[in-house]
Structure 1
Amino acid sequence: MTKQIQGFIGVASAQMLLGTLGVCVLESGADPLSVTFYRCVIGGLVLAFYGAIQGNLYGVMRLPPRVLGLALTSGLLMVGNWVLFFTAMQYIGIAVATIAFHVQPFMVVVIGALVFRERLHAATFAWIAVALVGLAMATESTKGQTAADASWLLGICCALGGAFLYSIVTIIAKGLKGITGPQLALVQCLCGIVFMSLVVPAGPLEVSSVQWGWFAVIGVVHTGGVYMLLYDALPKLSTPLAAVLLFLYPATAIIVDAIVYGHRLGSAQYAGVGCILIASLGVTLKWGVRRSLAVSAA
């Protein structure tokens, strides 16, 4: 089996597993703060075990102060992202929350341009406009409510807020040197454990056996397992193929939400999803940028 096939299987498996995360979150019956806390605890244990096997666990303790500080900052942001995303699922459902969250590639582009003073090309603005149109279509309520319904708007805002925080995490991670992906994920979980232990009201004795089962799946499969798959598989794939495979996550979430809870999207929402998918690929793969540069040069 070639490395590219191994990478394909690894990334595809990770994205489809993530598509089932929402069901575990909702079926646990726990509040978003508690789900996030136990995800950090169990996921952190899995990642620590993985780090010990790989022989780089103790490297976390020898990180330079600047790298450690940025890693801890990304941990706080990641925890906030999880809380907001899980909250969004409770208000607007798994499918719509996941779709809204997946506008984060465009946020990364805009924030990166502001932070690093990078030039945004006309083609990039065009793709962002397409994505915004798609977002408006995909997140329209189909439950007889108006888009102005308070709980619906709150759910959309939580999903977009989570996407914004995750965008900053992505930018921080891109600039970090001297720390591996698994090490960064472990630091984020450890940071989450410390921070969330101060705000989560439920203790271990107040968690039912059923909830422990759901938390275990979220921590072992959707956190530790998914991270290990992605960190091993992504370097084996080309950027275009990886960009396409990442959309297996929202696609799986839409299917799972329809099967388990009967939440089916309308035709306009599917069209919106298509707009976001195409626009995301356009931004990631820089469709039209070279042509724009050639026109400018001429």
Structure 2
Amino acid sequence: MGSVEAAAERRTGILQLALAMAVVGTVGVFMEESGQGPINAVFFRCVFGALVLLVFCAARGWLGGLRLAPRQWALILFGGICIVLNWVAFFAAIRHTSIAFATIVYHVQPFWVVLSGAVLFGERISGQKLGWIAIAFAGLALATGIGSAGTEPGQLLGAGLAVLASLLYTGTVLSTKALRGVRPHLTAMIHATTGIVLLAPFVGVADLPATPGPWGWLAGLGIVHTGLVYVLMYAAYPKLPTPVIAVLAFVYPASAILSDWLVYGHQLGLGQAAGMGLIALASLAVTLGWRLWPARRVAAAG
């Protein structure tokens, strides 16, 4: 591929991923406007999302890829359970706090992947990474106000649910990393289908919307935030280097904070904004390999 074509493909990937992240940032607004509790909202997100991804995969002729080995099915189903429960916990966190606050706390997620790699697979964590992780969790403490006298119990519960959501998403990340030979669109479709089966017994039928408006918001959770977003993300990732993906990932919290302010008038406090800044800085640093202190010089042999 020539340099002009490569540059054009990279620009396309940047636009696709930036749009996907900006859309994901509005997911909390769709949930709130639907008027549904976390379980109902996630259930219909799965229903509409699975349908969109089924149609997309069928149109591409990819459904034959569902002939999978037992290990592949086990990894996908485990990842599906984790991501569905992650959505439920995150929506519950929003109910107890705000979209912006829950999103800030949720973004400690990349550090769970690093720590779980050390615990589960014996991967070595350098002192540099440990330092950045410490900075991220200092940012988390600053953003949540843990330890301060004015922290409300509801805010602490919301923060705990957001942390739980980030831990659950780590399970999806690890299972997907271990998965080989399966198109990510098919994996996402199975994840959504898993959510339908998992949550169906717990749907509050009496609470379902009686008017078309809320159904539109519920459909949007599946069609837009699951179907469209996954298609855009998986189209963008192969076109972009890791540093660009890492930077564009922060379009998501920026979009969430902006939408929460524009729609509900929620503004971040100084401590929350500073905490978000530390988490963002540390996340980029770990992904891009930035150093907290200079490398130690090794004396040349005489």
Decide whether the 8 Å contact of 1:104 with 1:164 is kept in 2: yes
TM-aligned CA deviation for residue 206 of structure 1: 5.4
Query: Which residue of 1 is the match for residue 53 of structure 2?
Result: 47
Instruction: Give the aligned CA root-mean-square deviation in angstroms.
Output: 2.1
Higher gyration radius (CA): 2
Match of 1:100 in 2: 105
Query: Equivalent of 2:240, from 217, 237, 241?
Result: 237
Are 2:263 and 1:273 aligned?
A: no
Maintained 8 Å contact 2:132/2:292:
no
Letter in structure 1 aligned against 2:12: Q
Show the 5 A alignment for 1:5-154: 5-60=11-66, 62-140=67-145, 146-147=150-151, 149-154=152-157
What fraction of aligned residue pairs are identical, expressed as a percent?
A: 43
CA change 1:200–1:5 in 2 (3 A) is same
**3-state SS in 2 of match to 1:83:** helix
Deviation at 1:289, TM superposition (A): 8.6
CA distance in 1, matches of 2:287, 2:255: 21
Note closer, same or farther for the CA distance 1:89–1:204 as it changes in structure 2 (3 Å cut): closer
Within 2, Cα distance between the matches of 1:202 and 1:59?
Answer: 35
Residue correspondences, number: 293
**Matching residue of 1:195:** 198
Task: Summarize the Cα distance change of 1:124–1:201 in structure 2 as closer, same or farther, 3 Å threshold.
Answer: same
The aligned residue for residue 157 of structure 1 is: 160
TM-score, reference length from structure 2: 0.92
Is the 2:185–2:234 contact (alpha carbons within 8 Å) kept by the matching residues of 1?
yes
Q: Deviations over 1:113-148 (max 9, x none)?
A: 21111000000010001101111122239xx9822x
**1:122/1:289 contact within 8 Å kept:** no
CA distance in structure 2 between the partners assigned to 1:236 and 1:295 by the alignment: 37
Distance in 2 between residues matched to 1:31 and 1:295, nearest whole Å: 57
Task: Answer yes or no: is the 8 Å Cα contact 1:41–1:190 preserved in 2.
Answer: yes
Is 1:227 matched up with 2:233?
A: no
Determine if contact 1:22/1:253 at 8 Å carries over to the other structure.
yes
The code of the aligned residue for 1:146 comes to G
Give CA deviations for 1:45-80 in whole Å, capped at 9, x if unaligned. 0000110111112312x0111101110111111110
> For 1:238-291, what per-residue CA distance to the aligned partner results, in whole angstroms no more than 9, with x for missing partners?
110110000000011111111111111122221111111110001111222996
SS of structure 2 residue aligned to 1:265: coil
User: What letter corresponds to residue 256 of structure 1 in structure 2?
Assistant: S
Contact 1:80–1:165 (Cα < 8 Å) also in 2? yes
* Contact 2:209/2:215 (<8 A) preserved: no
Aligned-partner Cα distance in 1 for 2:15–2:62? 25
1:4 to 10, 13, 16: 10
Inter-partner Cα distance in structure 2 for 1:179 and 1:192: 19
* Consecutive unaligned residues in structure 2, runs of 5 or more: none
Structure 2 residue identity aligned to 1:107? W
State the distance in 1 between where 2:269 and 2:293 align. 36
Amino acid at match of 1:202: V
Deviation at 1:205, TM superposition (A): 6.8
Q: Displacement, 1:233?
A: 0.5
Q: Tell me, what secondary structure is at the counterpart of 1:198?
A: helix
